[in-house]
Structure formats: structure tokens, C-alpha cells
């Protein structure tokens, strides 16, 4: 059980590889009775053991793993699609997709030609290190690959769980409001990079980029803030430069 939010990490979790003609899972998954775990430390300690194993496994093969986190609809999958198409010829790219249900995002990634597995968490609201550990076994990314983990859309619990990644990126969009860093401080506190997506919509929404930078810096002075548009490609090269520097 996730002591952070009370969801059952094992309830309905499925790891699948998308195929040419997928058949989405339509049957419901029961949420079995669970016993409340009061010691969050115990849960996170177990997670950290898997995360350390993931980190060693990735380092041994020279794989750079990036954990992408955001609220639903911020544009993570669109960003990944463009990133794969623009940079996938320079080094191998692989993706672990996290969602509560459906293989829809994994299918979008598969159409780019990228290797991908879907992790459906059922009742769970985040990916944890054990799920990523199993997904890595299924995906088996090649040595030297760039691995993206697209976490479940949620600005709370994903921040609590180390996956063994080398970098944590939070994606917000200008349609969500300027004050996201203040409302969800822990998520922004653990970020290495904040991407402000959909800046092509700035003329049409009430979003203050200067204030957003200030709020993010107040929560986490070390995190970079990069505005871009995954749809139009505006300023997208700053994202690619950040990835190249991490590599």
C-alpha cells in the first residue's frame, strides 16, 4: 500500500508491450481490501532498494533515464513524440508509459517507431521503482539509450518515489495557472527541470511566465525553468540541449 496516498500499489498493475492492433483492456479490476500502512518509511525504504538496483542497472549499460511528471493534459506524450522524432536518430530512445488504464499513450509512442512498454497501475496513482524494475526487464533498452519514464498524471505522489532515474522533469502548461509551484511545492522541490509547455497559447490565457519562474525559484532555486511549445517546436532546442548536457 502506498502510505503517501492510500492506494494499493499492486492493485491491477499490468505491464504490456503495445502491438499493431491493440485490444484495450475493458474488464474492471477489483480493488481488494487493504490494511492501512502507517509507517511510510517502510514503504519508501522498500522502494529505495528497487530504485538503487534500477540505478545500478542503468548505469552499467550507460542508459540515461529521465522521469517525466505532470498533471494530466500538460503535454508529456506530445513532448515525447516530438523529442523521439527529432532526436531518435542520434541515440536509441525507449519509453516506459505509466497510466492507470488504457494503452493509448503507448500506442502513440509506438507509432514513432520507438520501443515502449505500458504500465497500467489500476488503482495506483504513480509509478514506483518495482514497476519500473519489471518494465525494464520487459523493455530491455539497448546500451547507451535515452530512457523516458512518463509517470502517471499526478502532481503529488510521483514526487515521493525514486525510480532510479538520473533526472526528474516536471511539465506544466500555461493553461494550468501560474501558481502551480506554490500549490504543489514538493513536486517542484524535487525537480531538476521545469518545462513550461504550450507557450503558443500565451496570448489566449492568463499566465504570467515571470511570476511562475519566481514561484518555482522560491520552492527550488536549483531547478531550471524552460518555456517551450511541444506542438509548434518553439524553444524546443533548449530542451534538447538540456538532455544533451545530462548525457
- Extents of the domains making up the chain: 37-246
pLDDT at residue 7 is higher than 70: no
Q: How confident is the model at residue 33 (pLDDT cuts 50, 70, 90)?
A: very low
pTM of the model: 0.87
Angle at 79 between CA 235 and CA 110, to 5 degrees: 145
CATH architecture of residue range(s) 37-246? 3-Layer(aba) Sandwich (3.40)
Give the chain as a 3 state SS string: CCCCCCCCCCCCCEEECCCCCCCCCCCCCCCCCCCCCCCHHHHHHHHHHHHHHHHHHHHHCCCEEEEEEECCCCCHHHHHHHHHHHHCCCCCEEEEEEECCCCHHHHHHHCCCCEEEEEECCCCCCCCHHHHHHHHHHHCCCCCCEEEEECCCCCCHHHHCCCCCCEEEEEEECCCCCCHHHHCHHHHHCCCEEEEECHHHHHHCCCCHHHHHHHHHHHCCCCEEEECCCCCCCCHHHHHHHHHHHC
* pLDDT tens digits, 94-124: 999 999 999 999 999 999 999 999 999 998 9
Q: For the chain, give the percent of residues with pLDDT over 70.
A: 86
CA 242 to chain centre: 16
In this prediction, residue 27 carries a pLDDT of: 42
pLDDT of residue 31: 43
Q: Are 152 and 99 in contact (CB under 8 A)?
A: yes
CA-CA distances (angstroms) from residue 148 to 60, 93, 168, 203?
Answer: 17, 8, 10, 31
For residue 181, how many other CB atoms are within 10 A of its CB? 26
pLDDT band at 75 (very low <50, low <70, confident <90, very high): very high
16 band by pLDDT with thresholds 50, 70 and 90: confident
Amino acid at each position: 500500500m502506498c502510505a503517501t496516498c492510500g492506494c494499493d500499489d499492486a492493485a491491477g498493475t499490468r505491464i504490456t508491450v503495445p502491438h499493431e492492433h491493440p485490444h484495450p483492456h475493458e474488464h474492471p479490476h477489483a480493488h481488494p481490501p487493504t490494511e492501512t500502512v502507517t509507517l511510510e518509511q517502510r514503504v519508501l525504504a522498500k522502494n529505495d532498494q528497487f530504485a538503487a538496483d534500477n540505478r545500478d542497472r542503468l548505469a552499467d549499460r550507460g542508459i540515461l533515464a529521465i522521469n517525466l511528471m505532470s498533471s494530466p493534459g500538460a503535454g508529456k506524450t506530445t513532448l515525447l513524440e516530438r523529442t523521439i522524432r527529432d532526436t531518435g536518430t542520434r541515440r536509441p530512445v525507449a519509453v516506459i508509459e505509466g497510466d492507470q488504464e488504457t494503452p493509448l499513450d503507448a500506442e502513440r509512442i509506438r507509432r514513432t517507431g520507438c520501443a515502449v512498454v505500458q504500465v497500467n497501475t489500476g488503482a495506483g496513482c504513480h509509478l514506483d521503482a518495482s514497476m519500473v524494475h519489471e518494465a525494464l526487464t520487459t523493455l530491455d533498452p539497448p546500451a547507451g539509450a535515452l530512457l523516458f519514464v512518463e509517470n502517471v498524471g499526478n502532481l503529488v505522489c510521483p514526487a515521493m518515489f525514486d525510480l532510479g532515474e538520473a533526472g526528474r522533469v516536471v511539465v506544466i502548461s500555461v493553461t494550468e495557472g501560474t501558481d502551480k509551484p506554490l500549490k504543489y511545492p514538493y513536486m517542484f522541490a524535487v525537480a531538476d527541470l521545469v518545462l513550461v509547455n504550450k507557450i503558443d497559447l500565451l496570448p489566449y490565457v492568463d499566465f504570467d511566465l515571470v511570476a511562475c519562474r519566481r514561484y518555482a525559484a522560491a520552492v527550488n532555486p536549483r531547478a531550471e525553468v524552460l518555456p517551450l511549445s511541444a506542438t509548434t517546436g518553439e524553444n524546443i532546442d533548449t530542451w534538447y540541449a538540456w538532455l544533451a548536457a545530462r548525457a
